[in-house]
Amino acid sequence: MEISTTVPLPADPSTPAEAGAPLVLALPKGRILSELGPLLARAGIAPAADYADEDSRRLRFETNHPSLDVVRVRPFDVATFVAHGAAQIGVCGADVLMEFDYDQIYAPLDLGIGRCRVSVAGPQSSSTAEDIAAWSRVTVATKYPTIAHRHFAARGVQAEIVHLNGAMELAPSLGLSRVIVDLVQTGSTLRANGLVETEVIAQVTSRLIVNRTALKTRPEAIGAWIARFRAAMAELHAR
């Protein structure tokens, strides 16, 4: 994609003053990565060509900026890399940020991609949110144990968590749990598995995230990248 020269971008962080270890930008493989392309291009970031090829065994990629490398990791792991300072910048769903609630992560920018919601769902025959709130305990299959626990605890319901990494929608029909807490976008996965959404816990989009300590120690470089992403968002939305 051609990068606009009409809207000036903030200063390029690749200056001699920033010489040293390149900043690391952690990107989530999977569906967010496929939506990120135009935004990265607008922000003037061109990673090595195979960064989006998930068959490639490489995990770290140089970019057109000597002071910026990209790593490609699992979506849940982006937050962990950034929280521990292994990557200074990242892109991550708000669902993951809610689940881990790392205090080392600052999320300055909503990127408006990866739009979905975290919801409670159950069998069509079962229960409304009001019914569930009347129970004292409920079994919940989810890859979001903290979000689910917190959600039901706020309603005075004890959640017994069955921790799965995928295919949560199978759990109620196979007797593994009464309800599930999972991401919903179109609702087609729920429908295809005979489930209905009973409550939306939170709306989700992907966020630009940064490590708070890195932002203090390298404020110009990281601040310039935040500004670049912000300008890229503004440009894309103006089109």
Ligand X SMILES: O=P(O)(O)OC[C@H]1O[C@H](OP(=O)(O)OP(=O)(O)O)[C@H](O)[C@@H]1O
The residues that touch ligand ATP, with contacts defined as CB under 6 A, are 28, 30-32, 74-76, 93, 95-96, 114-116, 165-166, 183, 185, 204, 206
Residue placing its CB nearer to ligand ATP in the complex, 136 or 165: 165
Residue 142's nearest CA partner among 182, 202, 174, 102 is: 182
**Residue 142 · residue 122 · CB < 8 Å:** no
Question: Min. distance of Cβ 32 from ligand ATP in angstroms?
Answer: 5
**End-to-end alpha carbon distance in the chain:** 14
Residue placing its CB nearer to ligand ATP in the complex, 18 or 169: 169
Can you read off the two tokens belonging to residue 214? 């890195």
Question: Min. distance of Cβ 6 from ligand X in angstroms?
Answer: 36
Report what 188 binds from ligand ATP, ligand X, none; CB cut-off 5-8 Å by kind: ligand X
Residue 94's nearest CA partner among 208, 229, 17, 12 is: 208
Q: Where are the alpha helices (DSSP H) in the chain?
A: 31-42, 75-83, 94-100, 129-134, 145-153, 188-192, 212-217, 219-238
Applying CB under 6 A, the residues found at the interface with ligand X are: 166, 182-189
Report what 47 binds from ligand ATP, ligand X, none; CB cut-off 5-8 Å by kind: none
**Residue 98 · residue 207 · CB < 8 Å:** no
Question: Min. distance of Cβ 39 from ligand X in angstroms?
Answer: 20
Residue placing its CB nearer to ligand ATP in the complex, 13 or 93: 93
Report what 104 binds from ligand X, ligand ATP, none; CB cut-off 5-8 Å by kind: none
Question: Min. distance of Cβ 92 from ligand ATP in angstroms?
Answer: 7
List 61's β-bridge partners, or say none.
70
